[in-house]
Structure 1
Amino acid sequence: MTTGQFAHLHRGDPAHTSWEAGSLHGRFWEVVAEHPDRPAVIGTDETLSYAELGARARAVAAAVDGAKRVAILVDHGPDLMAAILGALSAGALYIPLDPLYPVRRLEQMAELAEPDAVVISPRHRELAARLAPGVPHVVPTGTAGFTPVTVDPDAPAYILFTSGSTGVPKGVVQTHRNALFQVRTHTANLRLGPGDRVSVLSSFSFDMAVTDGFSAVLNGGAAVPVDLHRHGLNDLAAHLDAHGVTVYHSTPTVYRHLLDSLAPGRRLASVRAVLLGGEEVVRRDLERFVAHFPDGSVFINGYGATEISFAVQNHLTTAAIEAGQGVGAGVVPIGRPLDGAGVELRAVTDGVGEIVIRSAHLASYWRVDDPRFGVDSDGTRFYRTGDLGRWLPDGLLLYQGRADRQVKIRGNRVELGEVEAALAALPDVDRAAVAVRDGSLVAYVKGRATGVREALAEALPAFMVPSRIVPVDAFPLTPTGKIDVNALPDPVVVPEDSPAPVGEPARTIAAIWSEVLGLERVGASTAFFDLGGDSLRMGRVQRRLEESLGVKVPLATLYAHPTVTSLAAHLSQTQTSAAEVNVSLTSAATDRAARRRQARTRPGT
């Protein structure tokens, strides 16, 4: 395949035979009939064929029959896919509630969505009762002969919640017609078919997982969900290889951690398409692609929003990258608009303007009117993204940052105002401001700063919790009386009174933390997350510790012992216990061998 032959992919493949369907679940049941024995979902612990996934979906549908809005409180994996397809087959819209989210955040989402049924994993009964008291909590079991409900294509299919500037999550509602349009566009652009296996790495609370999951099971392919929060990144490459993933999709942050874990020259041989979205892609990402993926694969830099999913894409082959075609200077252009998604720049100054998406397939907000949505004079709906862009001479669009205070943290949309609202709700915080420093959130707090991160972690998702809390006596102001964010001090990373680590394995742990966090030193008593760490960096620490110490170190252990001192003490105790067990086992084995020798030397034996 030549570079020129790939050029049309951002507008779909004219030779690709598309399918038509009136609803998401309607298309799914067509695939079940066509490919009952093909793998549909390949999870960490089990693989479901289309027939088996269909059976579980029918059981869910029978259990929630009559419900209009079904919340889904199920762990990332095959049962989550079954719950989603079952809720849709019952004629309901679904609301994914990620069990890993803070309870307060889930309470807000459930309160806004007002579900009339909740599908749960058995271990989430108590949480479900707290989130939706008085609402039926369903644990589907067995099989059922449920007949899928026919729905209007313009009926809502799901509600996803994004960060809201008022401090309250905002629900994005998408219809079957629009979601099917997105999946068909994705199908044509990537030529998806029954032979594909698509990674599903993000939470189903994000549109990234919606696109990945449906693009797999509506085409007869297999979805490969991997719960990165539970299993970390260390085994991701092994998952991709073991299950023959052909389409890889993640944020650039996860992609970088994945490739950093690979040995030089190691290629992920089964992957034919790499799709990144949610953050800026840089030239170094393309170099990594060339080094670690097959020559015939294609790299896609995607841009979009929960309100429409992908709207712009830039498809690049190895040949194009090496020739410098469409790769930009430092930041890689996001590409050209997809069919059905017009893109304009409005309020342009010096060539830079706000990216406005015009489309018949835009979502809407749940029970909220928002001025970012509107209708042009020709009757086409538009959505003002708040992102800035610039058209390049070759017709590609270059992302230029945010026009408002919404930022992207590890691929997730974050309204700084929502984080500030959560800070303001804490009783010991007088005033607070949130800024981005080196790609991480930093909170500046007037008042008591101790325990702030822990308190926020109970109300906000992990990606919205600032990595550092900086106490201040007063805030610098602009001439108009607003906080001057640019004049806020740089955070002090390591407290001066934090002692240096002493002994082993404390020094080894500290050295690994310093390398992963990019710090000159770390203190023995400062928590990993207070040093700017996050879950992805924790995965890198896990891998390095296992390599250095030669033992398995579960992620749960790292979270339970967040300082160098506590982790070193735990690992030392664990190694001592293991050594004692080994001595005991060796002694027992020696005793058994001696008894066998004695038995063999007795008379008559």
Structure 2
Amino acid sequence: MGALPTVVELFGRQAANTPDKIALVAGAERLTYAALDEAANRLAARLAAAGAGPGTLVAICAAKSAACVTAMLAVARTGAAHLPLDPSYPTARLELVLADSGAHLLLTEGEPVTIGVPVIRLDEDQPPAAPFAAAPPDPASPAYVIYTSGSTGRPKGVVVPHRALTNLLYGMRDLLGSTEDDVWLSVSALTFDISLLEIYLPLVTGGRLVLVDSRTTILGKRLAALIEGEGVTHVQATPSGWRVLAYAGFRDPRLTGLIGGEALPAALARDLRPRVGRLVNVYGPTEATIWATSWEVPPEPETISIGDPLPGVTVHVVDDRLNEVSQGELAIGGICVADGYLGRPALTAERFVPDPYGEPGGRLYLTGDLVRRTDAGLEFLRRADTQVKVRGHRVELGEVEAAMDDLPGVRQSVAVVSGDALVAFVVGDCPDLRLRLAAVLPSYMVPTRVIRLDALPLTPNGKTDRRALEEKV
């Protein structure tokens, strides 16, 4: 396979082919491909003048908007990688990630969250700039960095190259049969890597992107009305997000639905399948570039599969010596594998290992997910560690526990998940524990319930008995 084009080239070709077609809708704002291309070009010139370019990282901290999509395209044009930050996160969290990432620039709206990083305001009029011209990014260079929860209490940045992103877009284009008539709804937060599929796939295939504000995503009837009003053809959401639509009575036989980010319950699959024309269960960790496998949900599914690998992806079910087994840890290889963790060589070496099944120099990402092979494809069983999913967000319970242990009055703590809720068990007394956690952790990592105990239950070998705690919820 020759060098893959990057999103910069793919979008540029589309803008040249269909300049007057609507590319993006954000509320009352509607941008043609030509207008979006010109805005990205103008911002790219300003970013390059401020030092953005190959080998640099540009943070984007703003609510989802047309300006954010413009910024993503502009950053890519300079050859830099973009780092999405959620403006709703606590200032301490934003500053931690900015410092850890070494970002060269911060694009934001309103007052900046930090000092020490040059800031460009997206909500101010952009000054005139000369046309920006630069060679397309190297396909091997980073396209973006996404921070995920860390088991040691420190979040980690996953570095994903352009070639992996393009491979994902090509694979999903072919799986879904993308056309210029597609209208994609973007409901996912920019810090959730699946948002990149919602944004980039329509823009590189000539479709239309419809952005949804964070409030509308939780209002089922309003979301359903937007889908109908804009003629949306593709919706991607977590099981939690699809429940919002299902509870609102949503049904649209024209729609293609993608569901992923959390394990798909069979009952929900059976409820959703007749509501849409097509339902695809997708699976993939951030380290394997958004989605790695897919499964077409059949009518009346009895069991749930995460399916088979997308093009450019290899999957292996292995034991602790990387021998192939019928049931074990899922290891993912191929062009989809990320470069590793930003500035974390030891952790990268631990999770990204040489691929004994592929070409020399290839690597496998050890997911920590236990699976088994079935006739229908791979079946997800459980995690091999304490990583969990909370409303689609990846959470390392160790990071939540480390934050609690740092609080005054907390002697011991354990976090568990019950349904969609994160629950904390605490030995000791810390007034306003949830409020204090909200000052350092994103909202989805703050336990919704705190249970105080005199002592934590132990297993016979002296370890914390998590199963006994889960039974207390």
Q: Assess same fold via TM > 0.5.
A: yes
C-alpha distance 21-148 of structure 1, shift in aligned 2 (>3 A)? farther
C-alpha distance 159-134 of structure 1, shift in aligned 2 (>3 A)? closer
Q: 1:133 deviation in Å?
A: 2.4
**Alignment partners' CA distance in 2, 1:37 and 1:71:** 30
Q: 1:277 deviation in Å?
A: 0.5
Structure 1 contact 303–313 (Cα < 8 Å) conserved: yes
Pairing 1:447–2:423 present: no
The DSSP-based 3-state class of the residue aligned with 2:367 is strand
Residue 400 of structure 1 corresponds to which residue in structure 2?
A: 381
Once the two structures are superposed, the pairs formed by residues 62-461 of structure 1 within 5 Å of their partners are: 62-65=45-48, 66-67=51-52, 68-121=56-109, 123=110, 125-127=111-113, 130=114, 132-139=115-122, 141-142=125-126, 144-150=129-135, 151-229=137-215, 232-234=218-220, 235-262=222-249, 267-271=251-255, 273-293=256-276, 297-308=277-288, 309-316=290-297, 320-322=298-300, 327-329=301-303, 332-347=304-319, 351-363=326-338, 364-369=340-345, 370=347, 371-377=350-356, 378-379=359-360, 380-392=362-374, 394-461=375-442
The DSSP-based 3-state class of the residue aligned with 1:321 is coil
Q: 1:269 deviation in Å?
A: 4.8
**Alignment partners' CA distance in 2, 1:403 and 1:44:** 43
Q: 1:490 deviation in Å?
A: 5.2
**Alignment partners' CA distance in 1, 2:119 and 2:469:** 49
Residue 16 of structure 2 corresponds to which residue in structure 1?
A: 33
Q: 1:136 deviation in Å?
A: 3.3
**Alignment partners' CA distance in 2, 1:491 and 1:282:** 23
Q: 1:34 deviation in Å?
A: 0.9
**Alignment partners' CA distance in 2, 1:444 and 1:482:** 15
Work out the number of aligned pairs and report it.
453
Structure 1 contact 237–268 (Cα < 8 Å) conserved: no
**Alignment partners' CA distance in 1, 2:155 and 2:403:** 12
Structure 1 contact 102–459 (Cα < 8 Å) conserved: yes
Q: Which amino acid aligns with 1:155?
A: S
**Alignment partners' CA distance in 2, 1:141 and 1:26:** 26
The DSSP-based 3-state class of the residue aligned with 2:82 is strand
Q: Which amino acid aligns with 2:8?
A: H
**Alignment partners' CA distance in 2, 1:48 and 1:227:** 17
C-alpha distance 428-237 of structure 1, shift in aligned 2 (>3 A)? same
**Alignment partners' CA distance in 2, 1:491 and 1:221:** 49
**Alignment partners' CA distance in 2, 1:206 and 1:148:** 30
Residue 523 of structure 1 corresponds to which residue in structure 2?
A: none
**Alignment partners' CA distance in 1, 2:44 and 2:452:** 52
C-alpha distance 208-119 of structure 1, shift in aligned 2 (>3 A)? same
C-alpha distance 40-245 of structure 1, shift in aligned 2 (>3 A)? same
For residues 145-196 of structure 1, what are the alpha-carbon distances to aligned partners after superposition, in whole Å with 9 as ceiling and x for unaligned? 4324222111111110011111111101111111111111111111112111
For residues 209-254 of structure 1, what are the alpha-carbon distances to aligned partners after superposition, in whole Å with 9 as ceiling and x for unaligned? 0111111111111111212347632311111111111111000111
**Alignment partners' CA distance in 2, 1:104 and 1:270:** 44
Q: 1:270 deviation in Å?
A: 4.2
For residues 385-425 of structure 1, what are the alpha-carbon distances to aligned partners after superposition, in whole Å with 9 as ceiling and x for unaligned? 00011111x24111101001111111111100000011011
For residues 27-55 of structure 1, what are the alpha-carbon distances to aligned partners after superposition, in whole Å with 9 as ceiling and x for unaligned? 11111111111111111231211112112
Q: Which amino acid aligns with 1:96?
A: P
For residues 482-525 of structure 1, what are the alpha-carbon distances to aligned partners after superposition, in whole Å with 9 as ceiling and x for unaligned? 21112227557xxxxxxxxxxxxxxxxxxxxxxxxxxxxxxxxx
The DSSP-based 3-state class of the residue aligned with 1:353 is strand
Structure 2 contact 315–331 (Cα < 8 Å) conserved: yes
Q: 1:78 deviation in Å?
A: 1.2
Identity %: 34
**Alignment partners' CA distance in 2, 1:478 and 1:109:** 36
C-alpha distance 212-115 of structure 1, shift in aligned 2 (>3 A)? same
**RMSD value, Cα:** 2.2
Which structure 1 residue ranges, 4+ long, deviate > 4 Å from structure 2? 348-351, 489-492
Q: Larger strand proportion, structure 1 or 2?
A: 2
C-alpha distance 479-28 of structure 1, shift in aligned 2 (>3 A)? same
C-alpha distance 350-440 of structure 1, shift in aligned 2 (>3 A)? farther
The DSSP-based 3-state class of the residue aligned with 2:173 is helix
Structure 1 contact 72–83 (Cα < 8 Å) conserved: yes
Structure 2 contact 104–117 (Cα < 8 Å) conserved: no
Q: With structure 2 as the length reference, what TM-score do the two structures score?
A: 0.91
Q: Which amino acid aligns with 2:279?
A: F
The DSSP-based 3-state class of the residue aligned with 1:418 is helix
**Alignment partners' CA distance in 2, 1:136 and 1:283:** 47
C-alpha distance 489-114 of structure 1, shift in aligned 2 (>3 A)? closer
The DSSP-based 3-state class of the residue aligned with 1:307 is helix
Once the two structures are superposed, the pairs formed by residues 555-566 of structure 1 within 5 Å of their partners are: none
**Gap regions ≥5 residues in structure 2:** none
Q: 1:449 deviation in Å?
A: 4.2
Structure 1 contact 37–51 (Cα < 8 Å) conserved: yes
Q: Which amino acid aligns with 2:139?
A: P
The DSSP-based 3-state class of the residue aligned with 1:154 is coil
Structure 2 contact 22–32 (Cα < 8 Å) conserved: yes
**Alignment partners' CA distance in 1, 2:280 and 2:99:** 37
Q: 1:283 deviation in Å?
A: 2.6
Q: Which amino acid aligns with 2:367?
A: T
Q: Which amino acid aligns with 1:389?
A: V
Structure 2 contact 216–223 (Cα < 8 Å) conserved: no
The DSSP-based 3-state class of the residue aligned with 1:423 is helix
**Alignment partners' CA distance in 2, 1:459 and 1:134:** 20
Structure 2 contact 42–131 (Cα < 8 Å) conserved: yes
The DSSP-based 3-state class of the residue aligned with 2:244 is helix
Q: Equivalent of 1:465, from 425, 446, 455?
A: 446
Q: Which amino acid aligns with 1:91?
A: G
**Alignment partners' CA distance in 2, 1:346 and 1:451:** 45
**Alignment partners' CA distance in 1, 2:4 and 2:183:** 22
Structure 1 contact 58–145 (Cα < 8 Å) conserved: no
**Gap regions ≥5 residues in structure 1:** 1-18, 493-605
Structure 2 contact 185–236 (Cα < 8 Å) conserved: yes
